[in-house]
Amino acid sequence: MAIVYHESGRTFHLYNDTISYIMTVMQNGHLGQLYYGKRLRDREDFSHFLETCERPMTACVFETDRKFSLEHIRQEYPVFGTTDFRQPAVEVLQENGSRISDFRYQGYHTEPGKPKLLGLPATYTEDPDEAETLTVTLQDPVTGLKAELLYTIFAQGGILARSVRFCHEGKSPVWLGRAMSLCLDLPDSSYVWQQLSGCWARERHIHSRLLGPGIQAIGSMRGHSSHEHNPFVVLRRPYTDERQGEAVGISLVYSGNFRIQAEVDAHDTLRILAGIDPETFTWKLEPGEVFQTPEAVMVYTDQGLNAMSRTFHGLYQRRLARGCWRDRVRPVLINNWEATYFDFTQERLLEIASKAEECGVELFVLDDGWFGARRGEKAGLGDWQADRERLPDGIGGLAERVEALGLKFGLWIEPEMVNKDSDLYRQHPDWILSAPMRRESHGRFQYVLDFSRKEVVDNLYEQLAELLGNAKISYIKWDMNRSITECCSKGWPADRQGEIYHRYILGVYDLYERLTSQFPQVLFESCASGGGRFDPGMLYYAPQGWVSDDSDAIERLKIQYGTSLCYPISSMGAHVTESPNHQVYRNTPLHTRANVACFGTFGYELDLNKLTQKETAEIKEQISFMKQYREILQFGDFYRLKSPFEENEAAWMVVSKDQKTALVGWYRILNCVNGRYTRVRLQGLNPQYCYKNERSGLCCYGDELMSAGLITSDESAGQVPEGVEPGMDFDSRIYVLKAECPS
């Protein structure tokens, strides 16, 4: 890994074994983009990559050079309104009404490792040798505003992390109208754009399309990253698949309003922008003030989508998630939500916990309904003390009793919200986000607390620190169940109202930071009506997140498969729930529910007391299987094999780091009569190792399993021979493969 500056051409070359990223200072002082892709050998001069050409009807920067138009030049941080008519990365409104700026090169410095981003989640290094950071400083001579472009190249994998820091060194205030984290101008647009989109209970489905002229964008204006679009896209070549080919993944480490867009211009060049949603953002900078954008992470590979995903998984698992739970296998939990909803007593909870303990569960999680006047959706949010009618011993007492059963105790909270029927709201009605003299819209009868105000965050911190400090709480599920409307704050003046969405998220990060550092042993799981804020920003504070409120195994195949494009298995909260399922009313076999959930953090969300003896025995086996293999399932190398978006079958697998154990999850949606032969070609095995299939006893070499495939066809439908277990819809198997005889 190196960051080299060539003075003769004023060119920067950042490279490691996988990638090269090359930029140059252009004749107008702006930074131009020369190359991004597979590693190139370094050389003194890369100026031949700067393509300019004289085109008719073009606006030019200099009268002396009709070739130099920003419209046709690839740039690092393009501005608005000066010969480039594509969407800019930055827009600066000035007191005189002008929005024109001119960020010119001032200098650069490099440093080992990676600096922290103030108040924001970001990837990090533990050892300075893991990465190197380049800061290029640009300044607008008229306003005095400085833009520092930060580029961190990691030693391992094709990873580049980027962000921008604005430092206002001028004399009059300016307003940032947009301040994107990343601009990436690429020389051609021959890419398939893949996004993870959906809605509540149908999050992160993979949608793909070939890029064409104009703008293709995803984003959120909801105040959270959203169920609708995840802050992540992939640009892959049309020939790229899971196993081979070029792809670039772009991921924004942010949980608020965002936008990621691709703009294809008239000459088929491509501009990618990623950052805070410019529509819902302005930020006033007084002289001396600093604004830091969120971080954007780019991963390049020429080895296919699985390689890109594994790079993201490794980075986000080990250098984004933090704390003692980062590298630890996650406890098998039971959550009472789908078992009881709001209808529970202390006795009922203890019955569920007790049965769970008998089955091998390690953590009991009490979900919504334990606090204030919370008997349903209409009351209680904001009052984080136990409802003593329901829980006579309080949370401390209940936690003791659960621990006495042999389980750890976990608790649900939703700190960002308030019901009007709560003591907190009665005391502080002005603490919700709302616009003067306008109707206040609700979501689930709840209102959003104004986390842009420090006194609000402080109040929640004090309530929650008291709760966590006085009870044996080992786990917190931090929920967030509505989008933000009427986003105005009574705590900020009129000319700072454009900052509230971002300040809100900074407040959420601040509360997370305080609680996770004060209670480092607590495992945090993020949640937002399922997967409404499942993003890298949250992963920095909570190493796992509830993937979706849809817990049906078959729906989860798509959701977890899509999620795996960017996020590691250890981050995916996945539970076995009742059949028929509570969201789609589908009946699925118990083994399939577990076979899907075990490619996640794994837990149960049903009343185990209601199960038959046979089912209880099966659950005990599932839990002991999970305990045996969770290190590999959660921290091994993950590969997608067959897409549930494309076929009647889905498959994925994990391989242990030493390649000696692999677990293949195979799922058939509908059973087939007299069906075709099926097999699945595995990945990530050692071709030399001979793997014993624990189901069939058959031994096959890694190369056979990867090239010829693992045979999954069976005789379980049609005329089922004697002795063969008939198949069923929604069937599944986990194949355990163990290297017996490395040759």
From 154-162, 352-360, 483-491, 522-530, give the range in contact with ligand GLA by CB under 6 A.
522-530
CA distances from 154 to 149, 305, 636, 644, 695 (A): 16, 19, 21, 33, 41
Instruction: Single out the catalytic residue among 367, 450, 549, 637.
Output: 549
The answer to whether residues 50 and 34 touch, using CB atoms and an 8 Å cutoff, is: yes
Angle between helices 346-359 and 394-405 (to 10 degrees): 30
DSSP string across 620-684: HHHHHHHHHHHHHHHHSEEEEEE-TTTSSEEEEEEE-TTSSEEEEEEEESS--TT----EE---S
The nearer residue to ligand GLA, 295 or 414, going by C-beta atoms, is: 414
Is residue 198 a contact residue for ligand GLA (CB under 6 A)?
A: no
From 29-37, 294-302, 524-532, 562-570, give the range in contact with ligand GLA by CB under 6 A.
524-532
Single out the residue of 530, 543, 545, 684 in contact with ligand GLA (rule: CB under 6 A). Answer: 530
Minimum separation from the CB atom of position 411 to ligand GLA (A): 11
The answer to whether residues 169 and 140 touch, using CB atoms and an 8 Å cutoff, is: no
- Give 110's strand partners: 134
Number of residues binding to ligand GLA, judged by CB under 6 A: 11
The nearer residue to ligand GLA, 376 or 709, going by C-beta atoms, is: 376
The nearer residue to ligand GLA, 368 or 731, going by C-beta atoms, is: 368
The nearer residue to ligand GLA, 70 or 476, going by C-beta atoms, is: 476
Minimum separation from the CB atom of position 483 to ligand GLA (A): 13
Minimum separation from the CB atom of position 226 to ligand GLA (A): 14
The answer to whether residues 703 and 739 touch, using CB atoms and an 8 Å cutoff, is: no
Question: Is 479 an annotated catalytic residue?
Answer: yes
Minimum separation from the CB atom of position 342 to ligand GLA (A): 8
Single out the residue of 546, 599, 635, 691 in contact with ligand GLA (rule: CB under 6 A). Answer: 546
Is residue 337 a contact residue for ligand GLA (CB under 6 A)?
A: yes
Site string for ligand GLA, 364-383 (x = CB under 6 A): ---xx---------------
Site string for ligand GLA, 547-566 (x = CB under 6 A): --x-----------------
Write the CB contacts of 460 (distance below 8 Å, at least 6 apart in sequence).
Answer: 384, 415, 416, 449, 511
The nearer residue to ligand GLA, 197 or 335, going by C-beta atoms, is: 335
The answer to whether residues 233 and 207 touch, using CB atoms and an 8 Å cutoff, is: no
From 108-116, 161-169, 523-531, 553-561, give the range in contact with ligand GLA by CB under 6 A.
523-531
Judged by CB under 6 A, the chain residues 471 through 500 that form the site for ligand GLA are: 479, 481
Write the CB contacts of 347 (distance below 8 Å, at least 6 apart in sequence).
Answer: none
The nearer residue to ligand GLA, 303 or 340, going by C-beta atoms, is: 340
From 123-131, 203-211, 232-240, 527-535, give the range in contact with ligand GLA by CB under 6 A.
527-535
Minimum separation from the CB atom of position 258 to ligand GLA (A): 21
Minimum separation from the CB atom of position 336 to ligand GLA (A): 10
The sign of the torsion formed by the CA atoms of 395, 396, 398, 404 equals: positive
Residue with tokens 């131009």: 32
Question: Is 549 an annotated catalytic residue?
Answer: yes
Give the residue at shortest CB distance from ligand GLA.
368
Smallest Cα–Cα separation from 602: which of 657, 556, 659, 644? 556
Smallest Cα–Cα separation from 256: which of 217, 229, 286? 229
Minimum separation from the CB atom of position 375 to ligand GLA (A): 12
- Give 134's strand partners: 110, 151
Query: Where are the strands (E) in 490-550, listed by range?
Result: 523-526, 544-546
Instruction: Single out the catalytic residue among 302, 367, 368, 479.
Output: 479
Distance CA 251, CA 689 (A): 36
Write the CB contacts of 262 (distance below 8 Å, at least 6 apart in sequence).
Answer: 189, 191, 193, 211, 215, 216, 217, 233, 235, 270, 271, 272
Minimum separation from the CB atom of position 343 to ligand GLA (A): 13
Is residue 526 a contact residue for ligand GLA (CB under 6 A)?
A: no
Judged by CB under 6 A, the chain residues 407 through 466 that form the site for ligand GLA are: 412
The nearer residue to ligand GLA, 32 or 537, going by C-beta atoms, is: 537
Asked if residue 287 has a cis previous peptide bond (ω within 30° of 0), the answer is no
Q: Is residue 413 classed as helix, strand or coil in its secondary structure?
A: strand
Minimum separation from the CB atom of position 532 to ligand GLA (A): 8
Residue ranges in contact with ligand GLA by CB under 6 A:
337, 367-368, 412, 479, 481, 527, 529-530, 546, 549
Q: Which residues are catalytic?
A: 479, 549
